[in-house]
A and B are shown apart, each in its own frame.
Chain A
Amino acid sequence: MATLIHSSGLDRYYDFRDALPERPDGVEAEAGRYAAWDRDAVLDFHTRRDGNDRRSIVLVLENVHCAACAWLIHRYLGQFAGVSETRLDVGDGRLRLRFEPDRTPLSALAAALDRIGYPPHLDTPDSGIDRDRNERRRMLRYLIVAALGMMQVMSYALANYIGAGSADAGGGMDPETEHFFRLISMLVAVPVALYAGQPFYRSAVNHLRQRHLGLDVPVAAAILLALFSSVLITLFGQGEVYFDSVVMFIFFLLLGRYAVMLARQQSGAVHSALARALPNQARRLTATGSEAVGLIELQVGDSVIVADGEVVPADGIVTAGEASVDESLLSGEAEPRARVAGDAVLAGSLVTGGSLQLRIEKLGSGTVLSGIVELLSEARRRRPRLARLADTAAAWFIALILLSTGLAAIYWWQTDPASVIPVVLAMLVVACPCALALGTPTALASATRGLALEGVLTANPDALEALPRITHVVLDKTGTLTEPGARLVEVRSGAGLAREEILELAGALERISSHPIARAFGPFDRGRRVEQAENIAGAGVSGVIDGRRCWLGRADWVAGCAGRRWVEPGDGIWLALLVEGGDEPAWLRVDARLRAGAQALVARLKGSGISVVLASGDREANVASVAQALGIEAFHAAMKPQDKLALVERLQREGARVAMVGDGINDAPVLAGADISIALAEGAAIARTQADLVSTGRDLNPLAVLFDQAPRVRRIIRQNLVWALTYNLGALPLAAAGLVPPWAAAIGMSASSIAVVLNARRLGKTRDRRPPARPAPRAALETA
C-alpha cells in the first residue's frame, strides 16, 4: 500500500510539474489581482534595490507551516526568469524574494504564489495580522464543521452500537434501519471529511509533488483510506464502517493543528510589534502649510513635522524644534533623550514633550527599524541545525511508518481481515512524527521572543543552542563593561596650549574615530577642518589642523610618533594630545563608568564555571583595576583588535569554546572569529552588527538573562526531541499489535504535538524582572 500511495503521488507530481510552468495564461489572468504591485511607488517603498535591475522584497505568505513549503516555493518560483533568491521563514511565513521586475513583474510572481496555495501579502505592518486572521478563520471553519459533523455521526453510530447490543439480547435493529443509519452517516461524514480534512490533503499533495514524504502524507492517507473503504462497504458490502472514527480524528487533528497555529502566531508577534511601530501617515511641510500624506508618498529630502506624542515616520535629521525622543523600541533604552536641530532621529521612536521638524534621510526598507526587523527575520529564515536534523529524521520515520504499516496490513489480512483497517488507521495516525518536527523550531521561536522582550536580539538561533557549551567568555572593556559614552573629567594643558584650544583640537580629531572614548569629545567639536586624517585602531587618531599635524591617543603611541617617552600623569585613562613641534603633550583624562550589571554578569559566569577573560586596548593599570573590581583574574591589556583575535584563536586551539562580547563595530573581526559573538549595540548600530546575538540595553542585565536562558533552551529542545521520539517509537508497535483504537491514535498524536508546543512556550514567558543587584541566587536555583 505504501508503494501504491507513493507511486500515485509521484505520478501526480509529474503531472503538476509539467503542467504548471506551461500555463502562463492562467497566471496572467490572476496577475490582475496583484496588478497594483507593479506600480513604481509600491516597488520603491517595499523593495530594496540590489544592484542593477534587481530588487528584493519581503512578502507575507499564508498557509506556510513546514520546511517542505520552502522547498516547493523555492523550486516553483525558481522557474521564473530573473528570480535569483527565494528564502522563506517557515516560522512566520515571510518570504524574501530577489527578482528582476523587467523580466518577471512582481504581480506575476504574486499570482504564481497564490496559485500554488500561498496567497501573498505585501509586508505592511498589518499584513501579518491580516494573514494570521485569515488563517485563524479558515482553521476555525474546518474545526466547527468537524465538531458538528462528529457529533452527528457519533450519534448515528451510537444508535448502531445500541442496536447491535440489543440484537445479541434478542431484540435489535432490523437490517433496513441499520442500512438507513449507515447511509445517513455516509451522507454527513463524506462532505465533512472532504471539507474539514482539506489542510491535510493539500499539504500531503504539496509534499508528494516534490517527492517528499511530508508529515501529512500518512495522515491524509489514513483519512481517505478509512473514508472510501467505509463508503464501499456501505454501498456494496458487509462489514464495519468507520465514519465516526474518520470524522473524530479529523476533529482531534485539527484541534492540535489549531493550537500549534495559535502558538506560532504568537511567537511572530514581537516581530510584527516592531513592524507596526510606524505611524499610518505623516505630516509633510509644503510651501503653504502642511498636508497629511501616506508613508508611501514620502520622499528623501521631504520635511515633516512630528508633534508631541507622535511616532517618527522615517529616519531623518532634526531641522527645527526640540523634544525628548523615546527610542526604547529600537535600543531597549528606557530613558528618552533630548534631540535638537542637527541630531539624527530614527523611524519608530516616539517624540514626547515638544515637536520636531525633520528632513528625511532614509525611508521604508532603508530605515534602522527595518534593519532590525530584517535582522530578526534573517534569524528566523535560518533553519537551525537541530531542526534540520529533526526534519531528516522525520522523513525517514515516515518512510518507516509506511513500510511497517504495509507489513502489519499483510499480517492482519491473513489472521483477522476485519481488523486490517483499524490497525492501519491507528498506525498511520499515531506514529505521525509531528512532535519531532515541531520540537526544535517552536522552542527556538519562543526563546527568541522571550529574549527579545528582555533586550537580546537573536540573529543566529544556533548560537542559543551552542551557548551552554561555552567554556570561555572574552569581554572587551571600553564600551562593553563600561558605558559607551565616556566623559571628559580632567584637562592638563602642556606646551602652552589654552584649555579651549586643546578641547577644540581634540573634538575635531576624534570626529573620525568610532571608538567609544571619542564620544567624550563630541561636544567640543567646533567643526575645524582636519586634513589627512588617520584613525589607527587601538592607538589613536592623527590629522593636520591649520597646517600642523596633531596626534591624540594612547600615551605610548603618541610618544612613539614624536620619538619620545612619556608616562601618564596619574591613574585613570589618559589621552595625550601632541601638536607638531611641541615638546610636552597636553593630557586629557576621560572616565567611563562600569555598566550596571557588570559585576553580576561576571559573578554569574564564574559561578557556572565559565572562564572570564578581559581583553582591552587600554593600558595595563586601567585594565587591571577594572579586572580587580569585577573579580576577573585573566586580563590582557594594550591589545589591538588583531591581538584580541589572536587571543581568541589561541584559546580555541587549546580546546576552548569562546564567546566574545564586544561593541560590535570596533570588535567586528574578533567577533567574527569567536564561536559565538555577542554585541552590545544601540540605535543605528544594531542593524550593522554582524554578531550572533545583540544586546540592546544600556546595562548588562540582558546578558545575564541570556546566559540563564540558554541552558533552558537547550534543555527544552532536548526534552521535546526525547519525548517525541519516545512517543513515536513506543506507539508504533502498540498500534501494529492492534492495541490502539483509531480514536485514541488521533488523540495521542494531537496531544503529543500540543505537549511539545506548550513545553516550548515556557521559554517565551517574560519572567518578572529580577532586581538587578541580586541575579545570582535565582540563577543558581534555576540551573540546579
Chain B
Amino acid sequence: MKIIYVLIPLSLMLLSLAVWAFFWAVRNDQFDDLDTPAMDILDDDEGSADDQETEAGDR
C-alpha cells in the first residue's frame, strides 16, 4: 500500500497540469465559439490565406 504515497502526489501533479491546460484553453479563446467550428467541415472553400494562417497559429 506504500505505493499510494507516490501515486497520489502524482495524481495531484496531473490535476494541476489539467487545470493549467484548461486555463490556457480558456485564455486562448478555445471556448468562445462552440457552434461554428462544427459547421466548418461543411464549408467547401479552401479557405483564404488568413484562415490558414490562424490555423497554423493555433497548432
A residues whose Cβ falls under 8 Å from a Cβ of B: 133, 136-137, 140-141, 144-145, 148-149, 152, 156, 177, 180, 184, 187-188
List 29 contacting pairs A-B, 8 Å CB cutoff, sorted by A. Answer: A137-B26, A137-B27, A140-B26, A140-B31, A141-B22, A141-B23, A141-B26, A144-B19, A144-B22, A144-B23, A144-B26, A145-B19, A148-B15, A148-B18, A148-B19, A148-B22, A149-B15, A152-B11, A152-B12, A152-B15, A156-B8, A177-B4, A180-B5, A180-B8, A184-B8, A184-B12, A187-B12, A188-B12, A188-B15
Residues of chain B lying within 8 A (CB to CB) of residue A149:
15
With a cutoff of 8 Å between Cβ atoms, the chain B residues found around residue A136 in the complex are 31-32
Minimum CB–CB distance for B4 against chain A, Å: 7
Q: Supply 11 further A-B pairs (C-beta < 8 A) apart from A145-B19, A188-B12.
A: A136-B32, A140-B31, A141-B23, A144-B19, A144-B23, A144-B26, A148-B18, A149-B15, A177-B1, A187-B12, A188-B15
A interface secondary structure, majority: helix
Please give me the residue from chain B that is nearest to A145 by CB atom. B19
**Which residues of the other chain, A, contact B23 by a CB distance below 8 angstroms?**
141, 144
- With CB as the reference atom, state the residue of chain A lying closest to B23: A141
Cβ contacts under 8 Å, A141 to chain B: 22-23, 26
- Assembly CA distance A687 to B26 (angstroms): 40
Quick one: CB contact mask for B1-26 with A, threshold 8 Å, 1 for yes?
Answer: 10011001001100100110011001
| A141–B20 alpha-carbon span in the complex (Å) | 10
Contact partners of A144 in chain B: CB under 8 A: 19, 22-23, 26
Chain B minimum-CB-distance residue to A138 = B26
Q: Which chain A positions have C-beta within 8 A of B31?
A: 136-137, 140
5 closest pairs, A vs B, by CB? Answer: A144-B22, A140-B26, A137-B26, A152-B15, A148-B18
B interface residues, tally (CB under 8 Å): 15
Residues of chain B at the chain A interface (Cβ within 8 Å): 1, 4-5, 8, 11-12, 15, 18-19, 22-23, 26-27, 31-32
Interface core residue of B11, B19, B31 (most chain A CB under 10 Å) = B19
Residues of chain A within 8 A of B8, CB atoms compared: 156, 180, 184
B47 to chain A, nearest CB (A): 24
Question: In the assembled complex, how far is the CB of residue B12 from the closest CB belonging to chain A, in whole angstroms?
Answer: 7
Chain B residues with CB below 8 A from A148, complex form: 15, 18-19, 22
Q: Point out the residues of chain B lying under 8 angstroms from A145, CB to CB.
A: 19
Name the B residues within 8 Å of A152 (CB-CB): 11-12, 15
Which residues of the other chain, B, contact A156 by a CB distance below 8 angstroms?
8
Q: Which residues of B contact A180 (CB under 8 A)?
A: 4-5, 8
Q: How far is the CA of A145 from the CA of B15 in the complex (A)?
A: 9
> How long is the Cα–Cα vector from A137 to B27 in the complex, in angstroms?
8
In the complex, the chain B residue whose C-beta lies closest to that of A147 is B22
A140 to B26, CA, bound (A): 8
Tell me, rounded to whole Å, the shortest Cβ–Cβ distance linking B44 to chain A: 25
| Residues of the A chain whose Cβ atoms lie less than 8 Å from the Cβ of B32 | 133, 136
- Please name all residues of chain B whose beta carbon is closer than 8 Å to the beta carbon of A187 when the two chains form the complex: 12
Query: How far is the CB of A182 from the nearest CB of chain B, in Å?
Result: 12
A177 CB contacts on chain B under 8 angstroms: 1, 4
Q: Which residues of B contact A137 (CB under 8 A)?
A: 26-27, 31
Shortest CB distance B15–A (Å): 6
A195: nearest chain-B partner, CB-CB: B19
| Distance, CA A177 to CA B11, complexed state (A) | 16
A137 (CB) vs chain B CBs: closest residue = B26
CB-nearest residue of chain B to A152: B15
On chain A, the residues within 8 Å of B27 by CB distance are 137
Cα separation A187 to B32 with both chains bound (whole Å): 32
- Bound: A144/B15 CA distance, A: 11
Minimum CB–CB distance from B39 to chain A (whole Å) comes to 19
What distance in Å separates the Cβ of B25 from its nearest Cβ neighbour in chain A? 9
A112 to B22, CA, bound (A): 32
Contacts of B11 in A (CB 8 A): 152
Q: In the bound complex, what is the Cα–Cα distance between A148 and B32 (angstroms)? A: 20
CA distance A156 to B12 in the complex (A): 12
- Nearest-CB distance from A186 to chain B (Å)? 12
Closest partner residue, chain A, to B27 (CB atom): A137
Q: In the complex, which residue of chain B has the Cβ closest to the Cβ of A139?
A: B26
A148 to B4, CA, bound (A): 20
Residues of chain A within 8 A of B1, CB atoms compared: 177
- The distance in angstroms between the C-alpha atoms of A668 and B53, with both chains bound, is 58
What is the CA–CA distance of A634 and B18 in the complex, to the nearest angstrom?
72
Complex Cα–Cα for A144 and B31 (A): 12
